[in-house]
Amino acid sequence: MADLSCKVGNLQLATPVVAAAGTYGYGLEFDGLVDWSMVGGISVKGISRDPCPGHSAPRMVETAAGVLNAIGLQNIGADAFVVQKLPGLRTLGPRIIVNCWGDSVEQYEAVVERLDGEEGIDALEINVSCPNRRQWGGVLAADTAATAAIVAAVRKKTRLPLWVKLSPNVTDITESARAAAGEGADALSLINTLRGMAIELGTRRPALSNLSGGLSGPAIKPVALCMVYDCVRAVEVPVVGIGGISSGRDAAEFLLAGASAVQVGTANLYDPAAPARISSELETVLEELGESSVSSVIGTLRTS
């Protein structure tokens, strides 16, 4: 059997498959539905300093090759997360990556400072790439100076591994990658969703109350693969690949492109056991490739 263990920087994972933030709730909702031993980590729903109600419905719509969402980063806030969710999460087994965000540098600092040092948190994932947070006035990661300022500020507030989640809604994602890595990011998660919209012909209105949302699912996989490949070669820190991964073969492609691990998002919405299933499928794919471990396949894409 292939060895599925891997590392993202200094963080050891049992498998390279992590449940992506925003698609797996707080993790506890899936207990009893998935084999946790086959899940490398859970990136929990994005946490802010204060509770956030998100956007009004409708805020999700299916598309031909994916899903548009404009949830608006709804969550219970850092204090409630630590008290109500974290104790149970610690008993599940996978690594706990807490995705977090703010509407200002000060709010990013505050939520990171609140979470730092809490038992059981293995890494923080800083979200600067949500495409439907109105209060941001745009995608923060599209501004390299803003990205650098946020990462520099939160780096001073935590000793935990710091992952930064980047946006595809930019001209050159390697600029964002360099900005985040240059200010102390330990790893980069990419990509977040692509900004898009859908229209209801019958009403002649947008399908989402927010007008636009973030597109995820199979449609964005080619974009994600290319951006992962580019960023792996642009920075020295590990890259975690995200975007349209629904099978072990998909995961293997990201590893070949150089990703140290992957995150599964939209597939969780129709298959709660997707992270474990994909890990199991990846094991079979590695054997088909004649590889004995995840580490032996990372970055082995042949380009000549």
Is residue 25 within 8 Å of residue 43, measured between CB atoms?
A: no
What distance in Å separates the CA atoms of residue 27 and residue 99, rounded to the nearest whole number? 12
Q: Is omega for the bond preceding 191 within 30 degrees of 0, making it cis? A: yes
130 is catalytic: yes
Which tokens hold the place of 42? 């859970």
Candidate list 100, 130, 226, 231, residue with the active-site label: 130
Cβ-in-10-Å burial (0-12, 13-18, 19+) of 301 comes to middle
**At a CB cut-off of 8 Å and minimum separation 6, what does 91 contact?**
none
| Cα dist from 108 to 105, 138, 149, 193, whole Å | 5, 17, 11, 21
Beta bridge partners of 263: 18, 242
Report, as residue numbers or ranges, the catalytic residues. Answer: 130
